[in-house]
Amino acid sequence: MGKLEGKVAIITGAASGIGEAIAKLYLAEGARVVLTDLPGHGLEAMFSGPNVHCLELDVTADDSAEAVVAAANAKFGGLDILVNNAGIALGKQFEDTTDEDFDRIMAVNVRSVFRTSRAAVPSLKARGAGRIINLGSIMSGTGGPLLAAYGCSKHAVAGLSKGMACDLGQYGITVNYLQPGSIWTGMSKPFMEDAGFRQYWETKAPMGRIGDPHDVAVAALFLATDEASFISGAGLAVDGGAAIRF
């Protein structure tokens, strides 16, 4: 029997990278899943079957949060787990970052987390328990060059997750956030193609390598299980130890 047998999950940004890895692992562990990503990203071509429902949408759209939660209730009869994975990165000098850059990264990385989580709460409460897992970053607790706006958004995810955990614990709902380090994904590829950047992160992590999306997915699986019922408001680092090293 899978670790998520009988559970219903929403995973945003599931067409690639970490979101794709989480979706595949949750399905393998018996979950029924509602997956979202932007139109044209090939989500429906990647996932099919009776335990999957795909929605092509922009998580920043006004009606997206309500639409995805409604789909979970209509297709699978409820909701147990929400994984707010959708996100974007921006590598830009602070003084070159425009208002539009900042607003967009906050809309995707923070506002969508807030809105989708808020929309999910009634369905999670109806179950008598639930899991919300947000995607933070190693930048949720530190900073780095060219990452002022991105780091700001991921600090916000950490703060939002802790506040949500305080308010929702009374309903049996846990809220935690993952803190991936440098992970090989389509989003990180432009950075990884810089040999100096890649070597820096390989050297910084005591494990001596760049992470794989599956490394993050197994952490997301643990936080979704019944075994994690007393863990809330926590940030789980999945960075090969990079954040602890000078």
Instruction: Select which of 26, 150, 177, 200 is catalytic.
Output: 150
| Of 25-29, 39-43, 107-111, 117-121, minimum mean pLDDT range | 39-43
Structural domains of the chain ordered from first start: 8-238 (3.40.50.720)
In this predicted model, what pLDDT tens digit does every residue of 171-187 receive, in sequence order?
999 999 999 999 988 77
Return the DSSP state at 207: T
More confident call, 168 vs 198: 168
- The span from the CA of 134 to the CA of 174, in Å, is 11
Q: Closest Cα partner for 176 from 122, 121, 130?
A: 130
SS3 206: coil
Q: Is residue 177 annotated as a catalytic residue, yes or no?
A: no
Give CA torsion, residues 95, 99, 101, 103, to 10 deg.
140
How does residue 191 score in pLDDT terms, banded at 50, 70 and 90?
confident
pLDDT at 185: 83
How does residue 196 score in pLDDT terms, banded at 50, 70 and 90?
confident
Percent of the chain at pLDDT exceeding 90: 86
- Per-residue HEC secondary structure of 111-154 comes to HHHHHHHHHHHHHHHHHCCEEEEEECCHHHCCCCCCCHHHHHHH
Alpha helices in 3-63 (DSSP H): 17-28, 43-46
- Mean residue pLDDT across the chain: 95
| Entry pTM | 0.96
Alpha helices in the chain (DSSP H): 17-28, 43-46, 64-76, 99-106, 112-127, 148-168, 189-192, 195-204, 213-224
Structure tokens at 65: 């949060």
The answer to whether 157 and 136 have CB atoms below 8 angstroms apart is: yes
Average pLDDT over residues 134-146: 93
Does the pLDDT of residue 164 top 80, yes or no?
Answer: yes
